[in-house]
Amino acid sequence: MKYRHAFHAGNFADVHKHVTLLALLRGLARKDTGFLLLDTHAGRGLYDLGDADARKGNEAATGITRLEAFLTDADRPAATELADYLGIVQHIRSERRDRRCYPGSPLLGLHALRPQDRAVFIETQPSEHAALRAAVGKHATVECADGFLRLANWLPPRERRALVLIDPPYEETAADFRAVQRALNETLRRLANAVVMIWYPIKHGRDTDQWLERLALQWPTAAGGAAIPCLVTELWVHPRDNRAGLNGSGLLIANPPYLVAEQMRLWLPELHRALDPARTGGWLVRESLAVTSAP
């Protein structure tokens, strides 16, 4: 059976990924020139948290629902990035007249784009692609294809700036990790200044760390051998060495926009407090060899 994100929509990993995506888009928008948002594994775009698939694991209860409750009860304003994320979620719910819907990365991304920006969303499953096309309408280009194979078609873009989101299902974990590495290399070879955001699951910390170490040894460089900056951010709500299931959410970001890492060190601890009230997990922000983390 092909992966269906509806079972996991709005969970803690979605929240971590989507807050970060919006922060990156806001960072890119500091410059007036337009950019391309390219999502290689876009999903259906909009999810119903009240349907049978979403209710089966009720994962949104420990993600978007928990964050909403936390910020409602807080006695101080939320970090800008968290308020921005929740504001867009609430706007989409109001626009759709559906308090139980949850927007995926395509709809969240579209709400952060400006008139000079473009979006391309790619989804391989026909049924999810049809739902995605209905969700975004005429506001973006939507393709039913393998997102890994379509990178070459869209890069480099005419804007010469891009944010490429790579978020495969990891059904075949080892194969998907290899495909992600190839996609990263291909993207940066075609557009060295592209902001690339790769989501990865943390199911066992040692396996994740080994993959990141292997990736570091083969980290691409720009023309002339210039180093391409890298940012790693993780949020885990269970111990990283627990093999019971999904323990955490990781994001590898190439060419992060200016000040994103510094701002992340402010809002990520707050997000962790909201999503991990039992304090069984932690968070991490790492640039190159500099590490800032908290248990």
For residue range 159-207, list pLDDT tens digits in order: 999 999 999 988 877 888 899 999 999 999 999 999 999 999 999 888 8
Rounded-to-integer distance, Cα 5 and Cα 34, Å: 30
The Cα–Cα gap between 156 and 201 comes to 28
Q: How do beta strands 141-144 and 118-123 pair?
A: parallel
CA gap 154, 149 in Å, rounded: 10
Angstrom distance (rounded) from CA 141 to CA 110: 11
pLDDT tens, position by position, 120-147:
999 999 999 999 999 999 999 999 999 9
Q: Which residues pair with 232 in a beta bridge?
A: 252, 286
Active-site annotation, residues = 167
Percentages helix, strand, coil for the chain (3-state, rounded to 5) are: 45, 20, 35
Amino acid at site 154: W
- Helix (H) / strand (E) element for 106: namely helix 105-112
- In this prediction, residues 213-227 reach a mean pLDDT of 81
User: Binning pLDDT at 50, 70 and 90, where does residue 294 land?
Assistant: very low
Predicted confidence (pLDDT) at residue 2 exceeds the cutoff of 60: no
Q: What is the pTM of this model?
A: 0.94
Q: Break the chain into its structural domains and give their ranges.
A: 5-294
DSSP string, 166-196: E----SSHHHHHHHHHHHHHHHHHH-TT-EE
Residue that is written with structure tokens 């784009």 in the block: 113
Q: How many CB atoms lie within 10 A of CB 256?
A: 22
Architecture of domain 5-294: 3-Layer(aba) Sandwich (3.40)
CB atoms within 10 A of CB 213: 9
For the stretch 51-87, pLDDT in tens is: 877 677 789 999 999 999 998 876 667 899 999 999 9
Mean pLDDT, residues 209-220: 86
Mean of pLDDT over the chain: 91
User: What pLDDT does 140 receive?
Assistant: 97
Average pLDDT over residues 221-231: 83
Complete edge-to-edge strand list for the sheet that includes strand 230-236: 141-144, 118-123, 36-39, 162-166, 195-202, 248-254, 230-236, 282-287, 290-294
Residue 281: per-residue pLDDT: 95
User: Which conformational region is residue 226 in: left (phi greater than 0), alpha (psi within -120 to 50 degrees), or beta?
Assistant: beta
Question: What letter represents residue 123's amino acid?
Answer: E
Q: What is the C-alpha to C-alpha distance for residues 100 and 164, in angstroms, rounded to an integer?
A: 28
